[in-house]
Structure formats: structure tokens, C-alpha cells
Amino acid sequence: MQGPGLLILLLGAIAFIVIMTARVRLHPFLVLLLASLGVGLIAGLPAGQVVSAITSGFGNTLAGIGIVIAAGTIMGFIMEKSGAAVVMANTILKIVGETRSALAMAFTGGVVSIPVFCDSGFVILSPLNRTLAARSNQSLSVFAIALSMGLYSTHVFVPPTPGPIAAAGTIGADLGTVILMGIIVSIPTILAGYFFAKFYGSKIHIDPAPQEEGEGAQAEQREYPSVLRSFAPIVVPVVLIALKSVADYPSAPFGTGSFKDFMSFIGNPNIALLIGVFLAFLTVPKITKEVLGDWVGVGLASAGTIILITGVGGSLGQVIRETPIAAYLSDSLSALRFGIFVPFILAAALKTAQGSSTVAIITTAGIIAPLMQALGLASGLGPALAVLAIGAGSMTVSHANDSYFWVVAQFSDMEVGQAYRLQTLASLVTGIVGIVVISILYFIFV
């Protein structure tokens, strides 16, 4: 299959996923698996290559986030049962007030996602998000999308996340300029995500699942953990992951010896979240066999479905990457001459086609690099703005072949149809706001 037929195949696959999950109610794991098989075979890939792509995509995705999801789910369940999530919610609400708690979560996500992958950040902050939604008597959808878009914004705009760093190096943009301009652009996109969540997301009610009936009567007698112990399972992993990013920075601020290696080790998200699990144990008044065994088991059971869906979403992305679909879109769009809009359109097409923001950023940067002069982006702030335009495209849009889509949906109790109306539409809105802000900067400074 070649040419426009590839685009029709992609659109057909997306329609199949939407119909089968939202209307037929077939489980997303089976739908995504069938879609992966169908896209690969119809596109003309050998059957063996299709199976290999499915298994490698599944494994590679879970290699990056599988343990993080499991550890984060265990940590969240323990913190919920111990009352740590309630303590955090009360602390934040005292500071910002209940009416502004969703905005606080949006910017909290923006800060966390500078050093942390947005998938991991959402897992880490999800228990707090859920409890704040319950405490402020708002739909979980408001908090989920505010946090999701806050995390997403800095993930695609602000180094040291891998995508923007790689794009800056490929295009030749000054990294400090990218960081500064990325922060400037991320602020209105975070606000756009918050306002979308507040005024549209609130129309879709998702119960944040507050305490079960009967627990509230015992609330006054419960022994809650301290504020320090309550926040430690979240704050410590985030700090460790941030320090790893600093340690791995090209200028080697921690040197190249054993201390740098140690920081890189404990700051690995898998290790950092494991440390978070054991810090979560400290929020329990008394560590018992029930806590160490049963609570962990319940957390793992909850994580199982999320892990499987996330992995098979990676399978679909890998199958699409091995078909000519991405190459066809790249060749078609790279011939256009829309200045700052070319990297945005190309990255958005690749993101929509194969799911990974980081892959879309890196791929687009390689295509755009030789076109910088022709696009009028080779001098001044042009290279930095080109990196940001690629970032804006790489968040437009998040749907079924994006593992982040499934992380947000599953951790926020969204039905698939709701996730399309919330996560997918919100990523479209924030991506467009991002390119509008970047375009304004382009017309002023370039």
C-alpha cells in the first residue's frame, strides 16, 4: 500500500479503535491488539514482521514504564489507605484554597515534568489529584486534565526532557535559549489546559471515589502521618529523578566519577519509585503483614490492567512506525513552505500517526534541520522557536496509540469515549495555543 491509501488506513484504524472501545465496549487491550495486527497486515508488512513489531513495541514500552506504573500504583494505594493522601490534600488546600486547587495541580505538573517523564509524573501525582478532587467536591476529570496538560506542556517544551534536548542538538539551537523560551511558552499552554479542564472537563463527571461509607465516622480517631512523611513518597522520587537529569547533563556538573554514577542510579525512575514505595510504608502507623503483603497485592492487581493496556498501545505505535505511513506523511509535509508552521504540522502528523511525543520530536528535528534556511528559521531565535514548534506539534494529539493517553485514562477512571473528549481534545487545544504563542514570538523576533 502506498500514497494516500496509507493515510486512509491510519484514519480507518483510529475509527476502528474508537468504535470498538466506545460503542462495542470491547476491552481496549484486545482492540489495540487487533488494530496493530490489522494495520501491519493491510499495510503489506510480512506476517512475521507484524508479530515481531507487536511484541517488541509491547516490551520496549513496558521496559520504560512498566515498573514505574506498578510501583506508583502500590505507593498510591498505601498512601490512600494510610491517610497520607488526605494529609497532602489538606495541606495544599490550606495553602491555595479549594477553589484554586486544580490550578495548583496544573502548575505542579508543569514543574514536575521538567525533569520527569509526563507518564511517570502522572502516576506519582495521581493519588494526590484524586484526593484533592474529592476534598474540593469537583469531578476527577477537571483535576486529571489540568494535571495531564500541565505535565505535557513542560515535557515537550522545556529541557532536560530528552525530546527538546535532542531536537536542540539536531537543529543547532542554543539550549539555554530553548529552556528560557520553553518556560515562556509553557505558561500559556498550562493555563489553556487548566481553563479547558475547568470549563469543559467539569461537564463530564467522574467520581473521584472518596472514602467509603463508614470510614468517615472513624476519621477523627485515625492516626494520620505527619506532613513530612505524607509528602516524602512523592517529593523524594521527584527530587531524585531531577538530580539524575542534572547528573546526566552534558556539562557534567556532578563530575564523571562515582558520585555521578550513584545519582544516575538512584534517580532512575524505576529505582526512585521503588524508594517511594518504601517511604510510603513509613506513612502507616504500624507496618504489619497485611500492609506488606495484602496491600501490595491489591496495588499490583490494579496495576496489571494499566500495564497491559499501556504495553499494547506501544505495540500499535511500533507497528505504525514500521509501515510507510510515517515516511509518507513526512515526505508530503516537508515539501510545504509555511515557515514556523512546517515543523508544527510535521510533528503533529507524526505524533498522531505513531503516538510517541519523543519520537515525533526527534524525527521531525532530523527532517527540519536541512530546511532551516529555506523556512527562514536559521538565525536569531529561529532555531529555538523551531524546537518549540516541534514540541507543540508533538502534543497534538494524544489518542489511542499514545501510552500517555492510556495512563491518564486508566488512572483517572475515564471510559475510552470520555478520554477522547477530555485528553485528546485537551491536547489539541493546548497544542494549538502553543503554536499560536510561538508564532507570535516568531513574527516579533525573527
Kindly report the number of other CB atoms within 10 A of residue 436's CB atom.
Answer: 15
The reported pTM is: 0.72
Residue 67 CA to residue 71 CA, distance in Å, equals: 6
* Torsions phi, psi for 186 (to 5 deg): -70, -30
Cβ proximity of 111 and 151 under 8 Å: no
Among candidate residues 128, 172, 77, 68, the one with its CA nearest the CA of residue 382: 172
Residue 61 CA to residue 57 CA, distance in Å, equals: 6
Return the pLDDT at 144.
Answer: 95
Judging by beta carbons within 10 Å of its beta carbon (0-12, 13-18, 19+), is residue 202 exposed, middle or buried?
A: middle
Q: What is the pLDDT along the chain (446 residues), one digit of tens a residue?
A: 677 888 888 888 878 887 887 678 788 889 889 999 999 999 999 999 999 999 998 998 788 778 888 888 888 788 878 888 778 767 876 787 767 889 988 988 888 887 677 888 898 888 888 888 888 888 999 999 999 999 999 999 988 777 888 888 888 888 878 888 999 999 999 999 999 999 999 899 998 875 443 344 344 456 889 999 988 988 888 888 878 878 877 778 888 889 999 998 998 888 988 999 999 899 898 888 777 888 888 888 878 887 888 788 788 878 888 888 767 766 665 555 567 898 999 889 888 887 888 888 887 887 788 778 877 888 889 999 999 999 999 999 899 888 899 999 999 999 999 999 999 999 999 999 999 999 999 988 87
DSSP state of 1: -
Cβ proximity of 414 and 141 under 8 Å: yes
**Which three-class secondary structure state does DSSP give residue 75?**
helix
End-to-end CA distance of the chain: 41
Could you tell me the CA-to-CA distances from 342 to 73, 84, 197, 424, 435 in Å, in that order? 40, 47, 29, 22, 11
Residue 193 CA to residue 428 CA, distance in Å, equals: 10
Q: Is 223 left (phi over 0), alpha (psi -120 to 50) or beta?
A: beta
Return the pLDDT at 213.
Answer: 38
Return the pLDDT at 115.
Answer: 64
Domain ranges of the chain: 4-206+225-445
